[in-house]
Structure 1
Amino acid sequence: MAANSVTVRMYDVGFGDAFLVTVRQDDLAWRMLVDCGVHSLGKARPLLDVVRAIIADLTEAAAPGTPPALDVVVATHHHADHITGFAYDDWTAVRVGEVWVSFVEDDADEDAVVLKNGLTRAARNLNTLVGRAAMTPGDETRTLALGLAGALAVNSLGNEDAMDRLLGRNGKHFLNVPAIRYLPEKFALLNVIRTPLPGVTVHVLGPSRDPGQLARMNPPQSARWLALQEALAAGPDGGPASGPAPVGPLFDEIYSVSPDEAGQVIGIELLSTLASLDLGTLADDAVEILAAASILERSVNNTSIFFVLDVDGTRLVFVGDSQQGAWDHVLQDPAARALVSDPAFYKVGHHGSHNATPRDYVTHALGNQGAYAMLPYGKVEQWGDIPNEHLLTALAGMNARIVRADAPVADARVRVGPGNLWSEITFPAP
């Protein structure tokens, strides 16, 4: 019995992700919610309104007398713009079959604990540094840099109430306490997850469990959409700030590479940036704090669950906020590369930032078959280069049809909800 269709509904939260996937097969349906969150700087509407809209949609789809239900909830990674919506108690009305989270959330996994503790410690230390760095009246550049760094640090800390609900701890839960999968599994065969519907399979391709790959945050020059991020290219802002000495070491040893190793994998331009960072006196320079915040942001992004939903040969690619290191892990594996090639659907990574969708993927793997690319995006004034125009132009050049959450356009396959609350694509299964 083949599936009849698969529908992806993208809710317009702003700068964040919330995707409801529904696979229909005659009278049966399988539903997955991928993320639910928004960045504090880029809200399109109150997030609670979106949460209640999702639950209302699930309630409408439920059989009479049964609660709203999801077969799977995926929290791709713990950035607030992907999970903070789960903090709301409205979710106690929803029954959930399984929750999938990145392996870094597994307190029983020794490697995960080391990695997660390092990320959390770095975010907290960075947030402290932002608080201690002196603002300079009239210096808009410095104020902007510190504000952005603080926002990135807070986003990287995630949301404990949301994680408590996802993991069923500290009294937080859905209607039930669902089973938890920490992905990817160490045993590769377990990363091919078969759903109750015949012919409907999920292939979990990332994140990599190799700390070396997670640490490769910036792509080399040849693979970048822009030569260098403006924040990383900028020099010192003109003088030391007053205030107490900074907290000590910002990043754990797990993120360290030798200069020789760095020269082989991350390119000379990032080596130059690294040489300019004096982490021991980081609180003295706002631009350096922002650069460090950007590195931390990429570290968490590259812990994203990266998966392909295969519905009878119609493949949908969901990447969370995966960036260069995570993409390398996928594209350099022939079997994984085949799964992400020529998809019907691509969830544009990290809201269309310049280094979250590799040029190699767009020009050599995405295909020229008119794939639909959904872009979860809301305007943040400080981030004028997101979404990156070079990326959007490259996608359009490969005949991809881009559906933007902030400005959706209906066509024969795309529907748009009232007030642009959501847009959705339906693919008939072959």
Structure 2
Amino acid sequence: MKQSTECVRIRMFRQGLGDSFLLSFPGDAGEVHVLIDFGVLLGTPDAKAKMQEVAGHIVSATNGKLDVMVATHEHWDHVSGFAQAQALLERDKLEVGESWVAWTEKPGEPLADELRGRRAAALNRIAAASRQIGASADPSAQKSAARLNAILEFWGGQGAAARATTRTAMDWVKSRTAPRPPRYLFPGETFTLPGAKRVRVYVLGPPHDSKWIRKSDPTKSASEVYQLAAASGADFSLFSAIDALEAGAMPGDQPFDEWFRISEKAARRNAFFRDRYDKGPAWRRIENDWLGPSGALALQLDSDTNNTSLVLAFELGDSGGVLLFPADAQVGNWMSWDEIEWSVDADGGAAARKVRAGQLLARTVFYKIGHHGSHNATLREKGLELMTDDGLVAMLPLDRPTASKMEWNMPFPSLYERLGERCRGRILDLELGMPAKPPGMSEADWARFQQRVDVQDDWIDYRIPL
């Protein structure tokens, strides 16, 4: 690849477990700045203060002019800052040229409207199930409710008074350039980056097909990823029962007639039932078992939302290298890229250039590791194994103590090991910072890598020749 004295700067902010990346490209008339996501996981200590600090850095680094603001999908760890630091991002402090979101946010788009409606309904029912389970004095029920609430935190929590949610954050991003509408991006689109003719943007996802959005986990053969995870479906049949309970009524289809039933509250007033309920083994308690599918439903909703991630690739004109930002895209999103062929107009009237996803992956020199290194957010044969450029470098936006607290296996061991091999150890880690020099890398190669990296307390910069 050709080399250039001009560089693209990729800045990963170190606010905690979440995505916030500021890209700065040499432009036609000065630097062009692109912000991709701006969030941190709900429950992060001092989250609002941290995101406000990041907002200050963004304003400073861009001199108050952000060319593009991108919100990839509706999860709190990607968009929370748009709610937590709005005052610091308003028009008098930060001018925004364009807002980019996925087609899934477009009003009047039939599939987008359907997905949003199903998501809202599922979120309401999951929150209701959490309330019903949490109302029990059973410790195991309390634990189940806590797990449901942890998943709900991806949307900023539900039902808390005066609390911003992912929806309010996304709506703010979409309204940020009003009266001009946001740019709703569809897979297969390609265009030059506004203000930087030498940078081309390719839109890979999310797929405009519900079958791919629903495919979050690998197949039984585990051929798509680095290890199979157990997949489970969501039982939407419990919706009517949850609705009935929320309305103060019992579900219509009961296994026993009313004469044979007794509520938990009434049972606790009766010595016979109380002794057996409180003193007996927990496995005998079945009153909350019917709500069990709500956990699978919550996990499936989380995965489906990840699969609506806006996926962008930036092609650098002089070098031909590609920067890949997949957000939290999972199996179906990645697999759908094979169906896309971009047609790029050539200069001077020459025939249009045809581009496929495999070609972009082969020229990828920077990879934002998908979904904090989870098992099903980086494909194997149709993903990482196609990233064959010797200069490949990756960034991992992960805080391990937070992931461990949430009982998430991040980064997934076999995936992380293979990433290290493909990147020759050049993984810039939000938590760990600069990696150690890997065995076998020459001093000259390591020195070149170090010269491109700047690790600070609040961010990590990596520079790539344009």
Q: Which interval holds the TM-score relative to the shorter structure?
A: 0.7 to 0.9
Query: Counterpart in 1 of 2:107?
Result: 107
Counterpart secondary structure, 2:202: strand
Q: For each residue in 1:186-231, what CA deviation from the matched residue of structure 2 results, as whole angstroms up to 9, or x when unmatched?
A: xx4x4434432221111111111111111112111323433334x9
Mapped contact 1:282–1:289 kept (Cα < 8 A): no
1:352-394 CA-partner distances (Å, limit 9, x unpaired) = 1111111224552122514111111122312241121111101
**Separation in structure 2 between the aligned mates of residue 72 and residue 36 of structure 1, nearest angstrom:** 13
Alignment of structure 1 residues 223-238 onto 2, 5 Å: 223-229=224-230
- Aligned-residue offset at 1:3: 8.1
Q: Select 1:318's aligned residue among 317, 320, 325.
A: 325
Matched, 1:338 2:359: yes
- Closer, same or farther in 2 for the Cα pair 1:370/1:36, shift >3 Å? same
Matched position secondary structure for 1:339? helix
CA drift at 1:232: 5.2
Match of 2:368 among 332, 347, 371: 347
Cα deviation for residue 27 of structure 1 reads 5.8
Q: What residue number does 2:293 align with? A: 288
How far did 1:423 drift? 0.7
Secondary structure of the corresponding residue to residue 34 of structure 1: strand
C-alpha change, 1:143 and 1:399, in structure 2 (3 Å) is same
Is this contact kept in 1: 2:428–2:434, CA < 8 A? yes
- Map Cα deviations across residues 7-51 of structure 1 (whole Å, 9 max, x no partner): 11011122211000000248611000000111114x265344333
1:90 lines up with 2:91 in the alignment: no
Q: Which amino acid aligns with 2:106?
A: D
Partners of 1:7 and 1:426 within 8 A in 2: yes
- 1:256 aligned residue: none
The amino acid that maps onto 1:182 is Y
Deviation per CA, 1:95-123, whole angstroms, max 9, x where unpaired? 10110111111112222111111112111
SS in structure 2 opposite 1:321?
A: coil
Deviations 1:43-83 (A, max 9, x none): 26534433333334433542xxxxx0111011000111111
> Which whole-Å CA distance do the structure 2 matches of 1:366 and 1:286 have between them?
43
Deviations 1:136-191 (A, max 9, x none): 65746x544432222213424752331231121xxxx47x6554111117xx4x44
Q: Distance in 2 between matches of 1:217 and 1:304?
A: 12
Indicate conservation of the 8 Å contact 1:199/1:311, yes or no: yes
Q: What does residue 76 of structure 2 align with?
A: 80
Of the candidates 385, 403, 407, which is equivalent to residue 383 of structure 1?
A: 407
2:415 is the counterpart of 1:394: no
Q: Deviations over 1:221-266 (max 9, x none)?
A: 323433334x959xxxxxxxxxx94238xxxxxxxxxxxxxxxxxx
Letter of the 2:300 partner, please give it: I
Change (3 A) 1:344 1:247: same
RMSD between aligned residues = 2.8
Partner secondary structure for residue 23 of structure 2? strand
- Tell me, in whole angstroms, the C-alpha distance in 1 between the residues paired with 2:290 and 2:14: 36
**Which segment drifts farther, 212-221 or 297-306?**
212-221
Change (3 A) 1:16 1:61: closer
Residue 71 (1) aligns with residue 67 (2): yes
Counterpart in 2 of 1:7?
9
For residue 152 of structure 1, what is the aligned residue in structure 2?
Answer: 151
**Aligned pair 1:54/2:35, yes or no?**
no
Shift of 1:127: 1.4
Length, aligned pairs only: 368
Seen in structure 2, the aligned counterparts of structure 1 residues 302 and 3 have a Cα distance that, compared at 3 Å, is farther
User: Does structure 2 conserve the Cα–Cα contact (< 8 Å) formed by 1:83 and 1:162?
Assistant: yes
Change (3 A) 1:34 1:44: farther
Aligned to 1:269: none
* Aligned twin of 2:278: none
Q: Which residue of 1 aligns with 2:462?
A: 425
Change (3 A) 1:319 1:118: same
For residues 359 and 36 of structure 2, the distance between their equivalents in structure 1, rounded to whole angstroms, comes to 23
| TM-score where L is the length of structure 1 | 0.78
Indicate the SS of the match to 2:197: coil
- Relative to 1, partners in 2 of residues 1:200 and 1:298: Cα closer, same or farther, differing over 3 Å? same
Distance 1:60 1:292, change over 3 A: closer
Compared CA separation, residues 336 and 368, structure 1 to 2 (3 A): closer
Task: State which of 412, 424, 428 in structure 1 corresponds to 2:451.
Answer: 412
Q: Distance in 2 between matches of 1:30 and 1:352?
A: 29
SS in 2 for 1:9: strand
Give the match's secondary structure for 2:26: strand
Q: Is the 8 A contact 2:226 2:380 kept in 1?
A: yes
SS in 2 for 1:182: strand
User: Structure 2 regions of 5+ residues with no counterpart?
Assistant: 157-164, 234-239, 245-285, 342-355, 436-449
Q: Which has the larger radius of gyration?
A: 2
Q: 1:97 to 1:422 in 2, by over 3 A?
A: same
Alpha-carbon distance in 2 for matches of 1:60, 1:317: 22
Shift of 1:409: 1.0
* Alignment TM-score, normalising by the size of structure 2: 0.72
- Quick check: 2:10–2:24 contact (8 Å CA) kept in 1? yes
Change (3 A) 1:403 1:56: closer
